[in-house]
Structure 1
Amino acid sequence: MYPTKWQTAIMATLRERGRCTITDLASELDVSDETIRRHVRALVEEGRLLRVHGAVALPLGQTEPPFSLRLKERTEAKRLIGRQAAAQVQDGQTVMIDGGSTTTFVAEALLERKELSVVTNSLEIARILLGRQGHRVFLAGGEFRADIGAAVGTEALSFIEQFRADLAILSIGAVSAEDGLMDFDLAEARIAQAMIGACRRTIVVADAAKLGATARVRVCGFDEIDAIVSDAQIPPPMRPCIKSAALQWMVAGTWPAAGPAETAMTDAAD
C-alpha cells in the first residue's frame, strides 16, 4: 500500500531528526496529535516505525542522512566513481539516472558527453544537465521529496515506464552478499526497479561505505545488473556472488577512466 501524505511527511521528519514525540511531530507538521497518532499507528503496524521511550523512530538499518548531507560526504570518492560511470556512456545515448548523491556526481561527469537523452526523477540531476552539451532531459513528475531530492510514486513510475533506454545508472543504499542490491526506501527501490526493466544495461554506483551494508528493501539480485562502480575492491564475502553473476566490478581511480570499449574492471575470480 502506498503511504499517505502524512505518513510520508512523518517518515521524512524522522529521517532528519532521528526520533520525535507525537507532540513534536504534530507541531512540526501543523496537524492535531490525533492525526499523527492515527498515521503513526499504521506505520508501526507495518513495521516501518518503532515506539521508543515515549517517542517514535525509524528501525535501525532503515535510515540514511538527508540528500543535502549525503552530497557533502565522501565527495572525492563519489567524484571518481561518477567519472568512471560516465566513461561508459557514449554520445547520443538514452540514459536513465535515478536520484542519489553519487548519481549527482555522475551527472556532473556527463557534461563531457554530448547530445544525451536523460530520463531522471532527480531535480538536481535535471538542473545540472538541462540546456548543456545538447542534452535533452526528461524529468519524471509525481511526489517530490525533499529528503531524497527526487520524485517517487505512481506518476513517476508511469513516466519512466514509457521509455526504453541504452543504459541505467543507479545509486543504491547497500550492497549485501546475502541479499544483493538494497535501499532504505520502498518508493526509491521501485524507481530503480522500473529503470532496470526499461534499459538494456544497468550500472550501479556504490562507494565503499555501501559495501557489506544492509538496508530495509531489496532492489534486485546481482544477476539483474551488469556492472558495479565503486572506489573499493570486491569484499571477499561478495566474490562468489560477483563471479556467479558474471558481473563487471569497476574500481574508480585505479586506472584512467576507460571508455565503453575498454572498461576497467577487477577480475572477480582473483
Structure 2
Amino acid sequence: MVPTRWQAAILEVLQRQGRARISELARNLAVSEETIRRHVRPLVARGLLGREHGAVHWNGPGGEAPFDRRLRIRAAAKRAIARAAAGLVADGQTVMMDTGSTTAFVAEALAGRERLTLVTNGIEIARSLVGRNGHRVYLAGGELKAELAAAVGPEALAFIGQFRADFAILSIAAVDGEEGLMNYALDEARLARAMMARAERVVLVADQAKFGQRAAVHVARLEEIHTLVTDAPPPEPFAGRLAEAGITLVVAGDQAETTVSSSTMV
C-alpha cells in the first residue's frame, strides 16, 4: 500500500513522537478530525498504528530506528528530489544540510561530487560523504537524539554559526502558503534557521505530501527560501504563493529529468 499524503504526514508525526491525539493531528495538518480518522483506519488495520481513546500511537516494527523507518516512506519520490537537488551543487562548494530522510538521500546523491565541504548535524548524512572524493565533513556536536539520528541543542547551534555556506539544503515537516515552513520539533526548527542564516542560498527539499500541511513550530517564511525541489507540481493556491515569492520551483521526474520554473532562476 502506498500511503496517501495524509497518511504519510500522520506516519511521520507518529514516528517522531510516538503518540498523538486525533485532535492534535487534525489541528497540525489543518483538516477535520474525521479526515484523520478515515486515513488512520487503514494504518491501524495494517498494524502500523495502535488506537487509544481519542489518540493513536506508533506500532510499527520495533527493530528499526524511527529515522530508518522514515527513509522507507515515499522513498522513490525522495530519491528523485535528491538527484535534482544535487544537480544544483558544483564541485568544491560548501553545503549545509539538516537531518531528515530527504536530505539523507540528497547526501547520497552528492557523494559523487568532488571536494565538497559538508556541515551537518545528521549522522547518516555525514556518513554518506566522509572519506570520499576529497570531501571535508564537519559534524555538529550536542545532544544526540536517536529518533533524529542527529545532534541538537545549543552546542549544535554554536557549531553551525562558525561556517558560511553556498547552500543550505533543508528538509521540513510541513510547508504552507500562508504559514511557510514548519517543523514538529523546536530543536530542529532552530537548527534549520541557523543554517539559513549562514548560507547564500536556501534550498527546500520536500515531497508533495508536505504541501498544505501544518506543524507546531514555525521555521521560516516562504520568502526566505530561494528554491523548492519537489516531486510534483504544487496545487493552487500554494503554487501562486511560490510565484509571488519569486521562488525557483524544480519538479523532479522519476528518472533524471526535471522541470524548472520561476521568475527567479538559479
* Matched residue SS, 1:169: strand
* Matched residue SS, 1:241: helix
Could you say which residue in structure 1 is the equivalent of 2:184? 184
Q: How does 1:77-88 map to 2 (within 5 A)?
A: 77-88=77-88
Are residue 18 (structure 1) and residue 19 (structure 2) matched? Answer: yes
Q: Residue 81 of structure 1 contacts residue 207 of structure 1 at CA under 8 Å; is this kept in 2?
A: yes
Bigger-Rg structure (1/2): 1
Corresponding letter in the other structure for 1:78: K
Q: Residue 234 of structure 1 contacts residue 249 of structure 1 at CA under 8 Å; is this kept in 2?
A: no
Are residue 103 (structure 1) and residue 103 (structure 2) matched? Answer: yes
C-alpha separation in 2, matches of 1:16 and 1:181: 19
Instruction: Please provide the CA RMSD for this pair.
Output: 2.8
Quote how far apart the aligned CAs of 1:240 are.
2.6
Q: Residue 16 of structure 1 contacts residue 66 of structure 1 at CA under 8 Å; is this kept in 2?
A: no
The answer for unaligned runs of 5 or more in structure 1 is 1-11, 21-51, 59-64, 259-263
Could you say which residue in structure 2 is the equivalent of 1:160? 160
The answer for unaligned runs of 5 or more in structure 2 is 1-12, 22-51, 59-64
C-alpha separation in 1, matches of 2:201 and 2:213: 24
Quote how far apart the aligned CAs of 1:18 are.
1.8
What is the TM-score of this pair, normalised by structure 1? 0.74
Q: Residue 206 of structure 2 contacts residue 228 of structure 2 at CA under 8 Å; is this kept in 1?
A: yes
* Matched residue SS, 2:151: strand
Could you say which residue in structure 2 is the equivalent of 1:241? 241
Could you say which residue in structure 2 is the equivalent of 1:265? 260
C-alpha separation in 2, matches of 1:117 and 1:154: 22
Q: Residue 233 of structure 1 contacts residue 266 of structure 1 at CA under 8 Å; is this kept in 2?
A: no
Could you say which residue in structure 1 is the equivalent of 2:130? 130
Corresponding letter in the other structure for 1:238: F
C-alpha separation in 1, matches of 2:16 and 2:123: 20
* Matched residue SS, 2:157: helix
Q: Residue 83 of structure 1 contacts residue 257 of structure 1 at CA under 8 Å; is this kept in 2?
A: no
* Matched residue SS, 2:72: coil
Regions of 4+ moved over 2 Å: 12-17, 52-58, 254-258
Could you say which residue in structure 1 is the equivalent of 2:7? none
Q: Sort the Cα spacing of 1:257 and 1:202 in 2 relative to 1 into closer, same or farther, 3 A.
A: farther
- Residues 118-164 of structure 1: per-residue CA shift (max 9 Å, x gap): 00000001111100011000000000101111111000000001101
Quote how far apart the aligned CAs of 1:243 are.
1.5
Q: Residue 87 of structure 1 contacts residue 257 of structure 1 at CA under 8 Å; is this kept in 2?
A: no
C-alpha separation in 2, matches of 1:249 and 1:111: 24
Corresponding letter in the other structure for 1:265: V
Could you say which residue in structure 2 is the equivalent of 1:141? 141
C-alpha separation in 2, matches of 1:54 and 1:71: 28
- Residues 9-34 of structure 1: per-residue CA shift (max 9 Å, x gap): xxx999454269xxxxxxxxxxxxxx
C-alpha separation in 1, matches of 2:96 and 2:112: 17
**Percentage of pairs with the same residue:** 51
C-alpha separation in 2, matches of 1:209 and 1:54: 24
Q: Residue 203 of structure 2 contacts residue 226 of structure 2 at CA under 8 Å; is this kept in 1?
A: yes
